Amino acid sequence: MSEHTRDDAPELLTSTEAADLLRAPVATLRYWRHLGTGPRSFRLGRRVLYRRDDLHAWIDAQHAEAVDRPPPSGRTSSAIACGASPHVSAHS
């Protein structure tokens, strides 16, 4: 079993540092942990820590999910691109 050296050890971030990286409030990370969603975290003693690699993987997963999701309200991307308003009827 190999041991990590200082050079290849994963970079660990505190909740505050992780929140800064994600541009989200610390309270949001705490809420996500409560729900069991959000980036992977673990406790080391009394501290909650995040691996930087896990945060970037979570960001990538959120981006991929958003790209695969259809536009909200059933609007097509062409209607959005044309600037169509969802409140204006074509027969008005």
Ordered structural domains, the chain, with CATH: 12-71 (1.10.1660.10)
Residue 52's contacts (CB-CB under 8 Å, 6 or more residues apart) are: 10, 11, 12, 13, 21
The answer to whether 39 and 58 have CB atoms below 8 angstroms apart is yes
**Which amino acid belongs to residue 17?**
E
Cβ-proximal residues to 8 (8 Å cutoff; 6+ apart), any chain: none
**pTM reported for the whole predicted model:** 0.66
> 18-70: per-residue pLDDT in tens?
999 999 999 999 999 999 999 999 999 999 999 999 999 999 999 998 888 77
Q: How far is CA 90 from CA 45, 85, 86, in A?
A: 62, 10, 10
